[in-house]
Amino acid sequence: MDKYDFSLEDILTSAVVAEAFVNLINNPDNHFSWNKMKLVMIDKGSEFKGDFEKLLKKHKIKNQKVNSKNTIGFVERSNQTLCEKLFKTQDAQELILPFPQRSRVWQINLPIVYALLNDTIT
């Protein structure tokens, strides 16, 4: 194995995921908060164990591991729908920005998209 060989497991550790989660929640420009979050649905990946589990326990957030393929499919499809709804405007916004700048318009639109999805008949 040379110095450029690595796997996703080398990068996506529990500590890395926990730190990213903290950064997301503590970012003042987003609409997430510790006191509003009650449940996180995850798969059984090792990146959601250890430090990540401790973090959720510390903030009294339930950690629900999905077991069935149907539930995993539901979570993946929900994530795909969110991405489809959020990133069209994200991409359009970034097209008009100077190169290194990145838009965070998806964070503004997230509550709107959630409200629309919650009102949609499935």
The conformation of residue 47, written as its DSSP 8-state character, comes to: G
Backbone angles phi, psi at 22, to 5 degrees: -60, -45
**Closest by Cα among 63, 53, 64, 71 to 17:** 53
Q: Provide the 10 A C-beta neighbour count for residue 56.
A: 19
DSSP letter, residue 49: S
Which span out of 21-25, 37-41, 52-56, 101-105 was modeled with the highest average pLDDT? 52-56
pLDDT 10s digits, 55-79: 999 999 999 888 888 877 877 887 7
Give the pLDDT of residue 122: 61
CA-to-CA distance for 26 and 40, rounded, in angstroms?
A: 16
The encoded tokens of residue 63 equal 């950690």
Instruction: Of 66, 55, 45, give the one whose Cα is nearest residue 22.
Output: 55
Amino acid at 77: R
The predicted model scores a pTM of 0.57
